[in-house]
Amino acid sequence: MSLVKETDYGTPASKSENKVTLTIDGVSVTVPEGTSIMRAAMEVGTEIPKLCATDSLKAFGSCRLCVVEIDGRYGTPASCTTPVLPGMTVHTQTPRLAAIRRGVMELYISDHPLDCLTCAANGDCELQTMAGAVGLRDVRYGYDGANHVFARSRVDGKANFEWMPKDESNPYFTYDPSKCIVCNRCVRACEETQGTFALTIDGRGFDSRVSPGMAEAFMESECVSCGACVQACPTATLTEKSVIAIGQPEHSEVTTCAYCGVGCTFKAEMRGEEIVRMVPWKDGKANHGHSCIKGRFAYGYALHKERITSPMIRDKATDPWRVVSWDEAIAFAADRFKTIIETHGKRSVGVITSSRCSNEETYLVQKLTRAGFGNNNTDTCARVCHSPTGYGLNQAFGTSAGTQDFDSVDDSDVILVIGANPTDAHPVFGSRMKKRLREGAKLIVVDPRRIDLVRSPHIEANYHLALKPGTNVAIVTALAHVIVKEGLVNEAFVRERCDWDEFQDWAAFVSDERNSPEEVEKLSGVPAEDIRAAARLYATGGRAAIYYGLGVTEHSQGSTTVMAIANLAMATGNLGRRGVGVNPLRGQNNVQGSCDMGSFPHELPGYRHISNEAARKSFEEAWGVTLDNEPGLRIPNMFDAAIAGEFKGLYCQGEDILQSDPDTKHVSRALEAMECVIVQDLFLNETAHYAHVFLPGASFLEKDGTFTNAERRIQRIRKVMSPKNGYGDWEITQMLAKAFGLDWSYSHPSEIMDEIARLTPTFKNVSYEKLDKDGSVQWPCNDAAPEGMPIMHIDGFTRGKGKFVITEYVPTDEKTGPRFPLLLTTGRILSQYNVGAQTRRTENSQWHPEDVLEIHPHDAELRGVRDGDWVRIASRAGEITLHAKVTDRVAAGVVYTTFHHPLSQANVVTTDNSDWATNCPEYKVTAVQISPSNGPTEWQEQYRELSDNARRIAAE
Amino acid sequence: MSHNPAEKLVKMANQIGKFFAAQRHSDAVAGTAEHLKKFWDPRMRAGIIDHVAHGGAGLDEVPLQAVQKLAGK
């Protein structure tokens, strides 16, 4: 094994289709028009010395090291900023160039410490490499003059005010100004790649310094710790603290991030089995070398001291845990499940997987249920996030997936973001979107809260429709009303691609006066004029793309809104090409994959309903069993059945249902009612309080597998260290299956994928071999689309004709009134992830140590609440206490919080209302009352005690 | 918060019925019945059928007919 090396071409690739031929050092080169000389040279393997250039950033031309000579031209132009021309003859090394470069390097090094041997970047420093490349042998200027290197003058020992101390405020990287060569790469990365504009160059000439914010420490500045600047830095100025602590890595493997649905690929850079750092992979098609704070830095949870690495069992959930052997734990679990099935029937047990698990893991767990337990009680946490996407898009288009790849956004002219907060929840795609917006694309945001996209440096939404939570259907239907009434429908598209009769019914429905912006203004609080203007922009602004998230799905009409969104895209012909489409932003890394793998109780892998005889038969033949042809229980139904005494055993892999599912008291009652709860996880999570068997899981660094991201892209995760618990999760499920008498003999996850490909038409050509060769593939990948399908529905919809569905607005039962006058909505923030099981066990908590309640100044004042006060949040379901943050990001009448911390228990207040079609919980709308408080509620205090008790482990 | 099983099933069935009742291109009762058959597990269907056998209190017309249709099969 060795380090995965990436070629740095110095400047970005040109997209031109015209070719230019020139000669570089006697070698003929043909490249696209607009390519720089630097890049053209690198294409034929000639590396022109450079410091300020790197191919992720636009050419800047400041270091003067990349100069070349061109026949027939005066001077020595910079090769990074000079485009190629036909017939050009370029020389990259002449005595004149060598002298210039050596002189430039000599000046750089005259203001740089010569501590290479003890420097963290030793072996990975472009300055060091360039000094070698240009043959620098001497620095004539010495260090006695003005410099940024020494704290005190070498002449008289007086303080050197040009010197600045190291900034170690960020927990993940350091900024050492004494090593900075002011190449601007960090500043440009913050602007061009990340789009945060947290860095700048302060001062001029010799006084120029990289400055976070207004010359603040990194942690005090606007920096979001994405790591782009660290990645771009050619010296040790910005360095990962892990590299300082460990040293340079010696080998690396490409793997996929286990956080959000963007699916960034990283090089896990290693020393033996010790991870040195995660570096975003340039060839990753989802992230193109960019990262966020979570994927780049927050992997420390895998090594956290609270990780459990031995199996444990207990007779009753109130007993302390007993550490046992794997054999004993598996036998205990299997015996209990067998007894339950014998006593209560085969439908009395079930499974829940997390969408954090790999495709292979979720496939095996649903197979265990179907083939082993003989029922279809299998669900995945996609139930509580994007199940309405599955239902809605399947109705409209015939397939349950986003229509585009992420790259498609580069061609969008109008971006409509509904109920999604990409810069926090899908940060790497958020940065892509911001880049396109800075290039001039128009933006419409539909969100009750003023998310960062609405207004942040160099980004401003053209329209922000700040609707009242729960009125999505009304707003989207009102947009359609304007489009139909004002004749903005793309009739040619609709006639060709969609069912014309259904369209006409739909058009008549949306045209009804009750769906007009003026009527909808009364429900939603959004000015009718804004609705009209947004609709016109979406319909007439060019290529228009819709991106949506859980603010759409997690409502009582989640599925209806998804269909309303599909209607909009079909009516305006915004489907089937680049720059357009309907794009669900998936919350977790493998939401798409876990749904694809048949984790839902009503369908087999590949979205085939369990009542489909032919599909069922193919699995029955492969697995040698008879399958139940009735749909099984969904997560909320499992809880209801448990409370009714009819559901007794649950195998829960990687999901913390107690913290993440709504109406916590209801969930805990359900768990309490079960006779055997098996939890497979890295940590004793909240659900484990009620468990009888704990099977320690492996982190994504410790096993092989695949994840499928929001753009249907299947990517590998690769094992870079031995599992601390001894087994990959797929092996644990296999042990359990064997204890159930199933004859499984997988020796590697690739064999599981081979089985998936054999049994799932849309995955027919997927294999580890193909993924290793191509890096990734977007399903469908079969004989019809051997290389996968970046953009779907190009010539027609999967289902045939696109289906317009009537989307009648039905107000949620969760209504405000005198007792509960405010609407609570929930969401995520950048540094934490979901239930926080991973990120809370990293330094990310420095950014977000607790969940807080955002409340509008008007509502706060009415209740005598000041910023930072404890407030009590009471709903029909329960009450909790949080600290208040008074802000006008939320409208009056709306309050907002996150659910990343278990002790804050945000889901104690959310209700059991759910989407009509899928039972996806209505997390986004809860009627609440807020009042000042002295501290945590009784429930929160009791819960803390319960947690401590439940986590007891008996001494051996 | 209703944790009464029948009450919860009735609420869910009414939600489904409201969606299909709004469709102009398909039969609301058939659509609702089909949805219940495709997405509700047998225990839940038995629960709502039983509720209808005991009078079906609280069920809207469309889901009521849909459940009767299911029960008839």
- Per residue in B39-58, pLDDT (tens digit) is 999 999 999 999 999 999 99
- Residue A937 is predicted with a pLDDT of 84
The string of DSSP letters for A528-576 reads: HHHHHHHHHHHHHSSSEEEEE-HHHHSSTTHHHHHHHHHHHHHHTT--S
Whether residue A916 lies within 8 A of chain B, CB to CB, comes out as: yes
- Return residues 600-629 of A near B (CB < 8 Å): 601-602, 609, 611
CB A602 within 8 A of CB B38: yes
Region A683-702: mean pLDDT is: 96
Number of residues that this document lists for chain A:
956
Tens of pLDDT, residue by residue over B7-20, are 999 999 999 999 99
Phi-psi region of A141 (alpha: psi -120 to 50; beta: other; left: phi over 0): alpha
Region A308-333: mean pLDDT is: 96
Res. A709: pLDDT tops 70: yes
- Residue A902 is predicted with a pLDDT of 82
Chain A CB contacts of B38 below 8 Å: 602, 609, 611, 631
Res. B1: pLDDT tops 80: no
Chain B CB contacts of A631 below 8 Å: 38-41
Nearest to A839 by CA among A430, A426, A260, A284: A260
Res. A200: pLDDT tops 50: yes
The string of DSSP letters for A859-876 reads: HHHHTT--TT-EEEEEES
- Residue A955 is predicted with a pLDDT of 80
Nearest-angstrom CA–CA distance, A782 and A788 = 7
**What radius of gyration, in Å, describes the C-alpha atoms of chain B?**
11
Mean of pLDDT over chain A: 95
Per CB distance under 8 Å, which residues of B are interface residues toward A?
1-3, 5, 8, 11-12, 15-16, 18-19, 22-25, 35, 38-44
Region A153-165: mean pLDDT is: 93
- Residue B5 is predicted with a pLDDT of 80
Region A513-526: mean pLDDT is: 97
Rounded to the nearest 10 degrees, the angle between the axes of helix A749-759 and helix A613-623 is: 140
Chain A CB contacts of B23 below 8 Å: 805-806
Name the token pair of A856.
């509008």
- Residue A835 is predicted with a pLDDT of 84
Nearest-angstrom CA–CA distance, B32 and A697 = 41
Which helix H or strand E contains A356, and what residues bound it?
none
CB A666 within 8 A of CB B3: yes
- Range in A399-403, A624-628, A724-728 with the lowest mean pLDDT: A399-403
Are the beta carbons of A609 and B8 separated by less than 8 Å? no
CB A594 within 8 A of CB A586: no
Res. A665: pLDDT tops 70: yes
Whether residue A644 lies within 8 A of chain B, CB to CB, comes out as: yes
Chain B CB contacts of A370 below 8 Å: none
Tens of pLDDT, residue by residue over A47-94, are 999 999 999 999 999 999 999 999 999 999 999 999 999 999 999 999
Range A173-303 has CATH code 3.40.50.150: no
Region A387-409: mean pLDDT is: 94
Q: How many CB atoms lie within 10 A of CB A12?
A: 17
- Residue A941 is predicted with a pLDDT of 86
Region A432-458: mean pLDDT is: 97
- Residue A956 is predicted with a pLDDT of 65
Q: How many CB atoms lie within 10 A of CB A335?
A: 12
CA atoms within 13 A on the CB side of A364: 31
- DSSP character for A63? S
pLDDT classification of A916: cutoffs 50, 70, 90: very high
CA A130 to chain centre: 37
The correct CATH number of A387-584 out of 3.30.450.70, 3.30.450.20, 3.40.228.10, 3.20.20.210 is: 3.40.228.10
What is the span of the domain harbouring residue B66? 5-72
Region A378-383: mean pLDDT is: 93
Nearest-angstrom CA–CA distance, A58 and A48 = 17
Among the partner-chain residues A630, A663, A876, the one whose CB lies closest to the CB of B42 is A630
Topology of domain A19-93, CATH: Ubiquitin-like (UB roll) (3.10.20)
Nearest-angstrom CA–CA distance, A711 and A714 = 9
CB A689 within 8 A of CB A669: no
Chain A CB contacts of B43 below 8 Å: 347, 633, 641, 646
Give the whole-number percent of chain A exceeding pLDDT 90.
91
Q: Which residues contact A769 (CB under 8 A, 6 or more apart)?
A: none
- Return residues 791-810 of A near B (CB < 8 Å): 805-808, 810
Chain B CB contacts of A508 below 8 Å: 24
Region A386-414: mean pLDDT is: 94
Region A9-22: mean pLDDT is: 97
Res. A745: pLDDT tops 60: yes
- Does residue A322 sit in helix, strand or coil? strand
CB A933 within 8 A of CB A827: no
CB A331 within 8 A of CB A314: no
pLDDT classification of B73: cutoffs 50, 70, 90: low
Q: Which residues contact A802 (CB under 8 A, 6 or more apart)?
A: A396, A397, A494, A497, A498, A499, A566, A570, A575
Please give the residue of chain B at the shortest CA–CA distance from A508. Answer: B24
pLDDT classification of A159: cutoffs 50, 70, 90: very high
Burial (0-12, 13-18, 19+ Cβ within 10 Å), A142: exposed
- Level-2 CATH architecture, domain A312-381+590-746: 3-Layer(aba) Sandwich (3.40)
Res. A5: pLDDT tops 90: no
- Residue B3 is predicted with a pLDDT of 52
Contacts for A312-318: CB closer than 8 Å, 24+ residues apart: A312/A693, A312/A694, A312/A953, A313/A692, A313/A693, A313/A694, A314/A692, A315/A692, A316/A692, A317/A671, A317/A672, A317/A677, A317/A689, A317/A690, A317/A691, A317/A692, A317/A950, A318/A949, A318/A950
- Level-2 CATH architecture, domain A822-950: Beta Barrel (2.40)
Tens of pLDDT, residue by residue over A786-830, are 999 999 999 889 899 999 999 999 999 999 999 999 999 988 888
Are the beta carbons of B38 and A631 separated by less than 8 Å? yes
- Residue A940 is predicted with a pLDDT of 83
Res. A135: pLDDT tops 60: yes
Please give the residue of chain B at the shortest CA–CA distance from A662. Answer: B1
Q: How many CB atoms lie within 10 A of CB A137?
A: 8
pLDDT classification of A158: cutoffs 50, 70, 90: very high
- Residue B4 is predicted with a pLDDT of 67
The total number of structural domains in chain B stands at: 1
Tens of pLDDT, residue by residue over A865-891, are 999 999 999 999 889 999 999 999 999
The string of DSSP letters for A164-199 reads: ---B--SSSEEE-GGG-----HHHHIIIIII----E
ipTM of the complex: 0.96
Among the partner-chain residues A377, A810, A918, the one whose CB lies closest to the CB of B18 is A810
Region A826-852: mean pLDDT is: 90
Tens of pLDDT, residue by residue over A471-494, are 999 999 999 999 999 999 999 999
Q: Write phi, then psi, for A92 (nearest 5 degrees).
A: -100, -10
Tens of pLDDT, residue by residue over A178-192, are 999 999 999 999 999
- Does residue A231 sit in helix, strand or coil? helix
Res. B2: pLDDT tops 60: no
pLDDT classification of A935: cutoffs 50, 70, 90: confident
H-type alpha helices, chain B:
5-22, 28-39, 42-53, 61-72
Strand order in the sheet with A693-696: A322-323, A312-313, A693-696, A676-681, A649-653, A349-353, A378-380
Q: Can you give the residue ranges of every domain in chain A?
A: 19-93, 173-303, 312-381+590-746, 387-584, 822-950
